[in-house]
Amino acid sequence: MLTMLTTRRQRAVATGCSLFLIFLIWQFVSLNEYPISVASVKLWPSSTKCSATMPLEELEENLIVPQKRYRAAVASSFGFHFDVYLAVVWTLERVMGRSPTGGVVEVYAPAKFGWQFQTIVDTLGLYHGEAKQSKDLVEAINANKGDGGIDLVVLGTCEFDLRKKWSEELLAAWDARDAEHKFKVVCIVHNVRDSTWQQSIPQWSQRNAIRILPIAEHVAAAFKKTFLINADSPNATIRSIGYEDIPVDVHVPVLDVPLAVERSPSRILSNAVIQGSFSTVRRDYLAIFSDLKDSLARDPKVWGYLPLGTEKNASYAVDTTLPDPPFHLHLIGSGSLRIPQELKNVVAVHTKLSYPDFYQLMGSMDICVPGFASGNWYYDAQASSTFAMAVECDVPILVTQRIRNSYTYVDDDKAVVTRPAAMREVEALHALRTRDASDFLDRTGIPWDSYTARAVVDMLRLGWTRDKGEARAVKEKIWRANERVVQRILRDL
Ligand SMILES: *[C@@H]1O[C@H](CO)[C@@H](O)[C@H](O)[C@H]1NC(C)=O
Ligand SMILES: *[C@@H]1O[C@H](CO)[C@@H](O)[C@H](O)[C@H]1NC(C)=O
């Protein structure tokens, strides 16, 4: 499957511009969870500044070893994931800014950040230089091969950026430097099973010049496992490549998004969001729609709707006589998806959002539903950005223990609402909206004194609202961890 897709992709590149565009879209769908947009500007709150200030004592551990990297180029020629690699730029700027020995960061990106990401860069102060063009990266590296030259190259999406062309050019630039002035390549990655680019790893590893920087812990674990297997290869050539010692760290792309919304902690749960590309292989939209239809059929009123009309093609309509707002399931992402006619007024689809609009809408949600299909790669090989998106927008996430074990940065009750896996998403939303588990327990016949029932009761006791302080604490923990990682990178640790 992978090799098939790979050759198809390579052919697409060779066939020229129009096909290259299709290739890009394919890449986008395969690597990306982010909203595509050409939409109009909405007002973005302009008052907020980056305010990630950390206690220093926790950062000291790395500081005994002297800093080795002083001039970082963060680069990507991929037209997506700005929020991922600019998050690294932001951390680099903070860490270097505090370091007595300093350092500078330069960004090399496609001509212009898409979807109004520049607004985010400016508002959040992610980067204070001027973005250069990614096509000028190699020239910039070669322009100074000695003191003061670029000594750290962070690639925004290595699945795309460290394929043949850039890898070969960067290797030539590396080989052209003397031993005192070699640079390191840091690979931001998303998916261990996207393996085409990984053919470049041996050449970099033999030079002790690469480190891997996945955006989530379970992807890091998958890379480490793969590297250890390779290191133990029966083939002496592969064994000697140095896989065992390739450093693998995690940098979670959570930004300090300013959130304008003030929400009452006593409100009823009414806006759930599934965020990500509309792929029914990745996410279980169909089962969720079906569960939602069943639950509405049983009791439309608790969801805020009138009973379904008897006409053909009827849709549930909001019951305007009820005091509470109706429930809406928002789908934010890209692609297309057929919404069942009955749910036309329940499910709201949002595509083509700019980053500012995306953050604003996401920030107004009550709860985020990952909705992963059970067998997909999001649990053990690929990182879904939905958790970073929800965390930075202060939206609690409805998870299972399985998700907490994979996405360890949200393995925290301050960030998530944990349902037992036996309770499907819609059943959990129903219980959280009504603050009552009896519908679920009665219908399934799960006894009240079972572990599952106790887990449901715990879920309801903790509730689904999290206050600003809790949300902030989760983010600060992530930022501190990111800073420690960047300190390691600057010290070749
Ligand atoms: C060992 O691995 C190298 C690199 O992948 C390959 O070129 C070579 O053919 C392998 N040798 C054997 C005996 O399989
Ligand atoms: C039902 O709605 C769909 C889509 O809105 C439409 O294509 C179809 O013709 C409708 N069928 C009837 C019987 O109204």
Ligand 1: distance of its center to the CA of 7 in Å?
Answer: 22
For the record, the structure tokens of 140 come out as 């910039």
pLDDT band, residue 344 (cuts 50/70/90) = very high
Task: Among 235, 238, 240, 241, name the best residue to mutate to test ligand 1's pocket (greatest count of ligand atoms within 8 A of Cβ).
Answer: 235
Among protein residues, the one whose CA lies closest to atom 6 of ligand 2: 313
For the record, the structure tokens of 17 come out as 């511009």
Residues 433-451 pLDDT 10s: 999 999 999 999 999 999 9
Ligand 1: distance of its center to the CA of 234 in Å?
Answer: 10
Q: Is the CB of 234 under 6 A from ligand 1?
A: no
d(CA 213, CA 488): 12
Q: Which ligand is nearest to the CA of 313?
A: 2
For the record, the structure tokens of 114 come out as 């898409």
Ligand 1: distance of its center to the CA of 199 in Å?
Answer: 13
Walk me through the domains of the chain, giving residue ranges and CATH numbers: 66-255+477-491 (3.40.50), 271-466 (3.40.50.2000)
Provide the pLDDT for residue 264.
83
71-75 and 152-155 beta bridge pairing: parallel
Q: What percent of the chain has a predicted confidence (pLDDT) above 90?
A: 82
Q: Which atom of ligand 2 is nearest to the CA of 312?
A: 13
Q: Is the CB of 202 under 6 A from ligand 1?
A: no
Q: Is the CB of 311 under 6 A from ligand 2?
A: no
Whether 80 and 277 have beta carbons less than 8 Å apart is answered as no
Q: Is the CB of 237 under 6 A from ligand 1?
A: yes
Kindly state the average pLDDT of the residues 349-355: 96
Q: Is the CB of 40 under 6 A from ligand 1?
A: no
Among protein residues, the one whose CA lies closest to atom 10 of ligand 1: 235
Task: Name the residue type at position 324.
Answer: D
Residues 56-102 pLDDT 10s: 444 555 678 999 999 999 999 999 999 999 999 999 999 999 988 99
Whether 183 and 151 have beta carbons less than 8 Å apart is answered as yes
Predicted confidence (pLDDT) at residue 475 exceeds the cutoff of 60 = yes
The string over 112-144, giving b where at least 16 C-beta atoms fall within 10 Å of a residue's C-beta and e elsewhere, is ebbbbbbbbbebbebbeeebeebeebbebbeee
Residue 224 to residues 63, 216, 217, 249, 250, Cα–Cα distance (Å): 25, 13, 10, 10, 12
Between 7 and 176, the higher pLDDT residue = 176
d(CA 173, CA 165): 12
Kindly state the average pLDDT of the residues 346-359: 97
Task: Among 310, 313, 338, name the best residue to mutate to test ligand 2's pocket (greatest count of ligand atoms within 8 A of Cβ).
Answer: 313
Q: Which ligand is nearest to the CA of 311?
A: 2
Q: Is the CB of 313 under 6 A from ligand 2?
A: yes
d(CA 434, CA 418): 17
Kindly state the average pLDDT of the residues 28-44: 38
